[in-house]
Amino acid sequence: MDLTPFLTQIFIGLYKGSLYWILALGLVLIFGVVRVINFAHATFYVTGSYMMYTFYMYTGNFILSLTMATLIAGALGVAFEVAVIRRVYKLETIYQLLATFAIALIFNEAQKLVWGKGVVYIPIPEALREGVSIGGVTLNYYMILIMVIGLLLFIIVILFMNNTIMGLRIRAVWRDPVMSEALGVSTRLIYTLVFFVGAALAGLGGALTVPLISVGPGLADYLIVTAFIVVVIAGLGSITGAYIISVLVGVLSSILVLITPELDIVILYMIAAFILLLRPQGLFGER
């Protein structure tokens, strides 16, 4: 039996999993620390995409555009936290959901006014246009770059959380915001910081995909569903869990496309439902 098709599916799955991870990481951070289920997360993603497109159109510089897109998405996250989220922390979850959902809708429509209803994209950087060809499938260098960035992000976040004072403070707020506040940690500052990082990560994910996935208004509405599945399976609040599950979901869904093209998504949802039944807190969740 020729295993090449499986190898290429696994490779594609690792790339897709890395994308899910970048989105899921922001979701997990924001939920873990701020305890808000952020429906507007896809909005930051698409903002990153459009910013990447716009800066690239004007400058033609990939690295600069990527940086600007990430920072602007992060800044938008801060504005969002200060203007909206801060007012609904203490309210019931349903109000948080409504507020974040409303923001998502407003941004979707606003983006249409600015960038039009059609789709836009930018070319893959010259140096990464080629790839390795295995069994007729070209595994593009750009996809490899996304995998590497995903892995680097994982290492950086884990090191930051475990080895810095700020990481310690974030973990403290994550565990017990009231006690942290009593001990002099500014939860307000931590919340804003986490929103910046979460939104910037979503923006980075969005910016990285413009050369591979064309962006249009509301594009990430579908992508975000998978990111939510990842977070639910992993357990809301587990960073390592989110990385492992992102990669597994990417690889599994990719292999399922090859072996059961009729049922690929169904099986994924069934696994999620099954895990929720057995472990409602998720595979890596504590609560």
Partner 1 sequence: MSVDRRGFIKTLGAGVVGLAVGAVLGWAAKPLEVREVTKTETVTVPGVVERKLPKATVKIGVLGIRSGLWSTYGEFIEQGARLAAEEINAKGGILGSRVELVFRDELADVVKQAKELVDVEGADFIIGIDSSGNAMKVGGIVSELGKILVVTHAATHRLTEELVYKEGKKLIFRSSVPVYQDGTLAAYIAKDLPVRKWAGINGDYEFGRVSWELFTKTLKALRPDVEFVVDQWPKFGTEDFTPFISALLASDAEALFTSIWAIELVTLQRQLTIMGGYKKFRAVISTLGYSMDVAYSLGTDYPTAELGTWVSARYMWPYPPTKANKDFVDRFKARWGRLPAYSAETTYSAIYMLKAALENAATLDPDILIKTLEGLVIMTPAGVRWIRPEDHQAIYEVPYGRIVHKGAEVPLLEDLKAVPAMLYYRHPPFT
First to last CA, the chain: 45
Check binding of 14 to partner 1 (CB under 8 A). Answer: no
Check binding of 26 to partner 1 (CB under 8 A). Answer: no
CA atoms within 13 A on the CB side of 167: 10
Check binding of 61 to partner 1 (CB under 8 A). Answer: no
Applying CB under 8 A, which of residues 108, 111, 238, 246 lies at the interface with partner 1? 108
Check binding of 109 to partner 1 (CB under 8 A). Answer: yes
Give rounded-to-5 percent helix, strand, coil for the chain: 75, 5, 20
Cα distances (angstroms) measured from residue 234 to each of 149, 203, 241, 248, 282: 21, 22, 5, 11, 5
Locate tokens 């924001």: which residue? 30
Instruction: Please give the size of the binding site for partner 1, defined by CB under 8 A.
Output: 48
Check binding of 27 to partner 1 (CB under 8 A). Answer: no
Strands 131-134 and 137-140: antiparallel
Going by C-alpha positions, the residue among 204, 221, 216 that lies closest to residue 52 is 204
Applying CB under 8 A, which of residues 69, 115, 254, 272 lies at the interface with partner 1? 254
Whole-number Å distance between alpha carbons of 42 and 72 = 15
Check binding of 221 to partner 1 (CB under 8 A). Answer: yes
Going by C-alpha positions, the residue among 102, 74, 50 that lies closest to residue 217 is 50
Applying CB under 8 A, which of residues 97, 144, 145, 214 lies at the interface with partner 1? 214
Check binding of 161 to partner 1 (CB under 8 A). Answer: no
Beta carbon nearer to partner 1, 166 or 263: 263
Smallest distance from the beta carbon of 30 to partner 1, in angstroms?
22
Check binding of 285 to partner 1 (CB under 8 A). Answer: no
Beta carbon nearer to partner 1, 5 or 285: 5
Applying CB under 8 A, which of residues 1, 92, 118, 178 lies at the interface with partner 1? 118
179 is written with which tokens? 């006690």
Interface residue list for partner 1 (CB under 8 A): 4-5, 8-9, 11-13, 15-16, 19, 108-109, 112, 117-121, 124, 131, 133, 135-140, 142-143, 209, 212-214, 216-223, 253-254, 257-258, 261-262, 265
